[in-house]
Amino acid sequence: MSALAALRTPDDDAHSVQIALRTLTPLYTGGVGQHGDQIHPSGLLGGVRRFSCLLAAAIGDPGFEHAVWGTSTDAKEHHAKRIALRVDASGLEKINPVAGNGRLNWPRPDGKPRQGWYYNVAHEGALRLTLTRRGISDPHWQLLLLALWIQIRHATFGSRDQWGLGVLATDALPDVEPLKPSAAAAPLAEKPGLHRALFAEIQFRRPLPLNWSARLEQGLRWREHLRGSFRNADEDAPLRHYLFGNLGQYGGAINLSALYPQGNNGCALRIWGDSAYHAAPIRRSAWPNCANAAAGDSAGTGGSLAGRASAHLARRRGASG
């Protein structure tokens, strides 16, 4: 059989999976000039790669990344990625601007000036992803699908997920087979992984705000509250900057969503993050402190939803090692 005849396409049901998704918070994948005028498959595929490699590191699979996502330039045998993604974005609608006049801001508690958060264009509605395997082994295919399952349920997609975007949902998760006990080994010590991650959902027994400005602002106010909880008499600035970023230098390890619908008449927000392997002392204090701050009901947000909410951690995964 020729290589062309053996090529798998999205029409090969046994080698493809289709996932119908809907946005719970707007989806943004960047673009030239950050205009975000369309959904870029590469922006979604890059996130799937990163998340699946986090899972592979957690179960101790050192060969997953090269086998599925392609080899490095110094490998003895070279091959490209063995996964294809097709995105049907016809069910998405453009939001422009996403919030207010494209920017959200309010006075800082300490009175210092800031620029605020900018939201130009994003998309909401329904989309369909089709993933096609091309030479991936069955165990690695199952691991990839399991990573997608976790990412949809507990994490985010696309860009600007630190600022509330990219929460997706589905009514039909892909079928996956449980990992065999023999497939799990010690986590990869030199790689970031899901064994060093936090996943949480804070649920509120209040109606969802009607517009995106209010939903995004509440998520940002919770982020401000969590960041402020790491300001204390001892002033652990490196830990705060690691978790929530440092202006003009680097992003943070925490992604915190805007509000989205939860249950019949409630709403929720999602928190997740993974910590770098070289930051073990920071990691041991970061996740418990962040979870404790999120679980409290003392978010001082000037009478906003976050300040009045009865919140709890619905799900939490974390490790201190």
Write the pLDDT tens digit of every residue in 69-113.
988 777 677 788 899 999 999 999 999 888 878 888 888 877 888
Identify which of 5-14, 197-206, 237-246 has the greatest average pLDDT.
197-206
Count CA atoms within 13 Å of residue 199 on its CB side: 12
Q: Which residues contact 292 (CB under 8 A, 6 or more apart)?
A: none
Q: Which two tokens stand for residue 315?
A: 């799900």
Phi, then psi, of 279 in degrees rounded to 5? -115, 40
Tokens of 26: 């707007």
**Residue 274: what pLDDT?**
84
Lowest mean pLDDT among 161-165, 182-186, 210-214, 275-279: 275-279
Average confidence (pLDDT) over 123-152: 95
Q: Is the dihedral of CA 281, 270, 131, 29 positive or negative?
A: negative
| Location of structure tokens 């600007």 | 160
Please determine, for residue 65, whether its predicted confidence score (pLDDT) is greater than 90. Answer: yes
CA 47, distance to chain mean position in Å, is 8
CA distance 60 to 57: 5
Look at the block and give the residue holding tokens 């494209």. Answer: 102
Structure tokens belonging to residue 109: 């508690």
Percent of the chain with pLDDT over 90: 43
pTM: 0.83
Which of the four pLDDT bands, split at 50, 70 and 90, describes residue 13?
Answer: low
Can you give the pLDDT at residue 231? Answer: 78
Task: Write down the pLDDT at residue 30.
Answer: 80
Q: What is the pLDDT of residues 28-51, one digit of tens each?
A: 998 765 566 789 999 999 999 999
pLDDT at 55: 95
Average pLDDT, the chain: 81
pLDDT(277) > 90 = no
C-alpha to C-alpha distance for 100 and 214, rounded to whole angstroms: 9
